[in-house]
Each structure stands twice: as structure tokens, then as C-alpha cells.
């Protein structure tokens, strides 16, 4: 069985962060493991509190995983502070980790800030060089590229700028553009669009976490980068299409929409 580690924050409401990652991994038939960077007291309406772990504790979590069950791929999600980013980079280098997908989480769908101002510079310098792919959404890509993004042409140009400057493959996600839900991959192989039907579902809490974990799961199963993104986009679309409607704000996806079997039936 392929193994995948997520290094991310916990979402008490179960729709984003570590919880979304582990559910996504299970739905992909890979063995999921986690190193928690922070606890969030969060629900579909907002983030009430954040409690970070110490750099020493995060290092111990990552050591515990790599010394025993070596992951075939690693997804990095919410990392709020520079000190934690530095620990992750040091440990991933130490263990020569492969197939690293970095989702540069900066704000939640609900609007809460999930990363310290200025930490993106450390992310770019320390983590991007180790990554096989980064998956920014529109606001994140605007910060990383220092450009305004209003349309798909802006999206691809900003992704290409970050690809050139940071030397990392970029999946620019178009979920925030409105109209379409197309994402663009800029890599050494060129530009590839992943066309998505926009689903009329306001419950998009955790779409970014889910997509990046699905990509990491596919990479762990030895799919190439382009196929990993294509399959992940199909999975995400299915989870959104399922139409789960929980909570009072932007609710979570049904990560288990494609599961079946005796233990699953209601």
C-alpha cells in the first residue's frame, strides 16, 4: 500500500486540514499519516482559535513518521509561522522526502488568516525548492506573483511568473475566479489546463486541502504529475457534486462519495 504524510493544521469541524487530508487519502486507497502543525477551533462559519505546536514537537512528529513508515509522498498544508516552515524544510531534506506537494494555505474560505504576514518569503525560499508542485488559489498566487488576477489569462501569467522565479511547478487554481472552475498547471512540460464544470454548491470548505491531498495520493501511487492532477480534479468534482450540506457556513465535501461496501452502507 502506498503511504502519504500530511503536515498541516487540524480543523475541528473535519472539513479542511488534516481531517480532509486523511479522508481523501483513505478514499484513494493509500495509508495516511499526519504531523499536526496547529490545532484550530474551527467550523464552517469561521476560525475561533489557533494553537500552534512548538518547532521541537513538529520535528518529533516528522521523525516518528519517517523513522518507521516512510511516506511515498508528502502534502504540506497550513503552516502558520516561519519557525515551523524552517523545521519542515530541514526534516524533509534530512529524510530526502519525495513527491512533495505544497498547498500554500494563507487564508481560510471563511476569511481567517492562517499564516503570519511575511512567512510566504520563507515558504518560497525553503519549501518551494523541495516541492514537486505548489497549489496556490487566486489570492495566494496574487501574493506570490505580486500581480492582480482577474481572469484566466492573468492566472496563467501569474503561475508562469512564480514557476520562472521560484523554479517550482505551479497549479494555479481558478476556483475563486467565478464563471469557470478551471485550473492551470505550469511546468517544464509547458502549460496544461484542467477544465472543471463549476458546480452550484456553496459548500467549498476544504476544496484546496482535498485537491492537494488527492494529488499527493496519486503521486504516491506512481502516477505522473499531469495524471495525478487530472485524477485529483475528477475526485474533487465528484465530492462537490455529491451535494453534502452541513453547517451554517460554507460546508465540507463528501470525501467518501466513491466508497462502497458492507461497512459503508447506511
Q: Catalytic residue positions?
A: 173, 204, 206-209
Integer Cα distance of 56 and 79 in angstroms: 14
Does 240 participate in binding ligand ATP (rule CB under 6 A)? yes
Binding to ligand MP5 (CB under 6 A): which residues in 183-212? 205-209
**The only residue of 183, 219, 221, 251 in contact with ligand ATP, by rule CB under 6 A:** 183
Rounded least distance, CB 77 to ligand MP5, Å: 5
Contact criterion met (CB below 8 Å) for 6 and 243: no
What residues does 51 pair with on adjacent strands? Answer: 39
Integer Cα distance of 216 and 97 in angstroms: 12
**The only residue of 14, 55, 71, 174 in contact with ligand ATP, by rule CB under 6 A:** 174
Does 233 participate in binding ligand ATP (rule CB under 6 A)? yes
Kindly report the number of other CB atoms within 10 A of residue 229's CB atom: 26
Rounded least distance, CB 124 to ligand ATP, Å: 17
Does 22 participate in binding ligand MP5 (rule CB under 6 A)? no
The β-bridge relationship of strands 73-76 and 100-102 is parallel
Does 9 participate in binding ligand ATP (rule CB under 6 A)? no
From the list 108, 166, 186, 187, the residue with the least C-alpha distance to 140 is 108
With CB under 6 A, what is the number of residues at the site for ligand MP5? 19
From the list 198, 195, 214, the residue with the least C-alpha distance to 133 is 214
Does 134 participate in binding ligand ATP (rule CB under 6 A)? no
Binding to ligand MP5 (CB under 6 A): which residues in 92-111? 105, 108-109
Amino acid at each position: 500500500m502506498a503511504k502519504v504524510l500530511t503536515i498541516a493544521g487540524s480543523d475541528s469541524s473535519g472539513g479542511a486540514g488534516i481531517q480532509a487530508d486523511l479522508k481523501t487519502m483513505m478514499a484513494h486507497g493509500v495509508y495516511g499519516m499526519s504531523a499536526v502543525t496547529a490545532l484550530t477551533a474551527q467550523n464552517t462559519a469561521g476560525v475561533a482559535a489557533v494553537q500552534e505546536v512548538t518547532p521541537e514537537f513538529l520535528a518529533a512528529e516528522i521523525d516518528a513518521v519517517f523513522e518507521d513508515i516512510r511516506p511515498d509522498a508528502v502534502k504540506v498544508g497550513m503552516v502558520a509561522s516561519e519557525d515551523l516552515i524552517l523545521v519542515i524544510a530541514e526534516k524533509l531534506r534530512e529524510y530526502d522526502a519525495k513527491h512533495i506537494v505544497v498547498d500554500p494555505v494563507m487564508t481560510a474560505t471563511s476569511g481567517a488568516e492562517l499564516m503570519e504576514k511575511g512567512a510566504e518569503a520563507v515558504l518560497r525560499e525553503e519549501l518551494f525548492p523541495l516541492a514537486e508542485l505548489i497549489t496556490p488559489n487566486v489570492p495566494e498566487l496574487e501574493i506570490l506573483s505580486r500581480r492582480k488576477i482577474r481572469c484566466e489569462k492573468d492566472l496563467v501569467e501569474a503561475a508562469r511568473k512564480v514557476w520562472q522565479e521560484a523554479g517550482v511547478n505551479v497549479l494555479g487554481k481558478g476556483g475563486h475566479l467565478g464563471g469557470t472552475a478551471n485550473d492551470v498547471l505550469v511546468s517544464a512540460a509547458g502549460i496544461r489546463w484542467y477544465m472543471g464544470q463549476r458546480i452550484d454548491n456553496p459548500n467549498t470548505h476544504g476544496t484546496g486541502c482535498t485537491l492537494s491531498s488527492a494529488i499527493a495520493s496519486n503521486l504516491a501511487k506512481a502516477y505522473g504529475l499531469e495524471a495525478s492532477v487530472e485524477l485529483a480534479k475528477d475526485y474533487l468534482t465528484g465530492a462537490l457534486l455529491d451535494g453534502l450540506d452541513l453547517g451554517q457556513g460554507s460546508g465540507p465535501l463528501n470525501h467518501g462519495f466513491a466508497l462502497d461496501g458492507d461497512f459503508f452502507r447506511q
